[in-house]
Homo-oligomer: A and B are copies of this chain.
Amino acid sequence: MERVKARTLSGFMELLPRQQAQFERVKGILEETYARYGFTPLDTPAIEASEVLLAKAGGETEKQIYRFTKGDSDLSLRFDLTVPLAKYVALHHNELAFPFRRYQIGKVYRGERAQRGRFREFYQADIDVIGDGSLDIINEAEIPAIIYQTFTALGLNRFRIRVNNRKILNGFYDMLHWSHRAPDIMRVVDKLEKIGAEKVGLMLHDDLGLDQDAVGEIVRFISIRGSNQEVLAALEEYRGRNETFDQGLEELNTVVRYLGDFGVPQDHFAVDLTIARGLDYYTGTVYETMLLDHPEVGSVCSGGRYDNLAEYYTEKQLPGVGISIGLTRLFYVLQEQGLLNEDLPTAPCDVLVLPMTEDLSPAIAFATACRGVGVKAQLYTEPKKFKAKMNYADRIGVPYVAFLGEDEVANGVVSLKDMVSGEQEKVALEAAPEWLREKVAARNKGTPIRE
């Protein structure tokens, strides 16, 4: 038979069982945390009509789309979860209650140039709160709490959520009478961390033609540093000169004021006037989340407030606020940095049941009893030598092996071997499933990430 070489496309993550178990654990914590904040799970098709999906897109994004025809249909794979959400909310508007809070964790597709750590198929994990006509500012204050809880639940502590408000930026550039070049200015300011304040000033002057006064003001503004209270105090000095700015400052004050109540410690949160998150989509609070020890990774959780989710589909005003975690990339980075907690079990089962008798009934009954109390049990019946069986147990990394020989069956016990400590003990058959359940629960304590 002519054979085809098995391969997985480059840029597509495919994990071995052990890594997949770790990935599922991380994904599970995102789902659980999002759900706890009252977000409903959503699942939309991976394929949409190109006309619908690309209503807004253009430029760089459009080039990356997986687009094709099937029959008469012009189809595209989704490249994010926001456009499908916009379509969903526009389409089902009458059937939804607002604010509509949804989370979605799903695969998206971008035909980027393949390179290490860049994926063409990857999971995004998004939450959004959508209002009908209006949406209260408290929703913007709650978002950093959700980010904080999510990352803390994963086991991360060394991270910081950066917050800014687009109204402050827009109002500020308006004060300088340079709001018509605001997108270009923000693009230059975005390089601050890489090139420093001085070079940003030079570029603003040389490339964009800003006068020295404006450049000076901007450099002074983006150089505002300090505690959140200090930054907010510095911003107060600009108050009263521009309505948009003042509104943004109000919003930022509200967000910061409620953070303590929402349980976000001060040191995990920083007002940062240099972040802008894209150029025209966001209209209020914006968020970035940095891993303190891995700034080179960039933001691992970003988002913000927008005024019009679905303007390409409906005349209804649908403001919202949302964040997105690039789950596949985050997992890749955690793995690369050795941050995954290797002590948590990743085996397909908690106990491998080895029957040592001709009649398999006692082993089957024991495995069934284990499953009854929620212990993941696998029956191993392949006719192999004992050593091969134990080798299999080692390779799948199972925490416990159960032996059921003539002796055990006759005495109503089972021999349970702890594969980590090597210790073995006999436990009464009826007590053993619960014994295992407790041991396994203890082993599963702990977070998927360990810094």
CB atoms of B9 and A101 under 8 A apart: no
Given A12-B47, A378-B101, decide whether A52 and B90 contact each other with a Cβ distance below 8 A.
no
| B42 close to A17 (CB less than 8 A) | yes
Q: Mark A26-46, 1 if CB is under 8 A from B, else 0.
A: 000000000111111111111
Q: Is A136 an interface residue (CB 8 A)?
A: yes
Given contacts A17-B96, A66-B68, contact A9 B49 (CB under 8 A): yes
Q: Are A43 and B68 in contact (CB under 8 A)?
A: no
Contact between B20 and A41, CB atoms less than 8 A apart: yes
A87 lies within 8 A of chain B by Cβ: yes
Q: Name 19 A/B residue pairs within 8 A (Cβ), A-sorted.
A: A3-B311, A4-B55, A5-B52, A6-B91, A6-B313, A8-B91, A9-B73, A16-B95, A20-B41, A20-B43, A21-B40, A24-B41, A36-B376, A39-B348, A47-B109, A47-B121, A101-B378, A139-B381, A261-B368
Q: Which of B15, B75, B313, B348 interacts with A5 by CB under 8 Å?
A: B313
A315 interface hit (Cβ, 8 Å): yes
Tell which of A168-176, A185-193, A359-367, A410-418 binds the partner.
A359-367
A48 at the binding interface (Cβ < 8 Å): yes
What is the CA–CA distance of A346 and B365 in the complex, to the nearest angstrom? 36
Q: Select A38's contact among B35, B44, B131, B378, beta carbons within 8 Å.
A: B378
> Top 8 nearest A-B pairs by Cβ distance?
A38-B378, A68-B68, A38-B349, A40-B348, A97-B395, A12-B45, A6-B90, A6-B313
Q: Is A111 an interface residue (CB 8 A)?
A: yes
Question: In chain B, what residue has the closest Cβ to A1?
Answer: B311
Chain A 148-163: CB-based contact to B (< 8 A → 1; otherwise 0): 0100000000000000
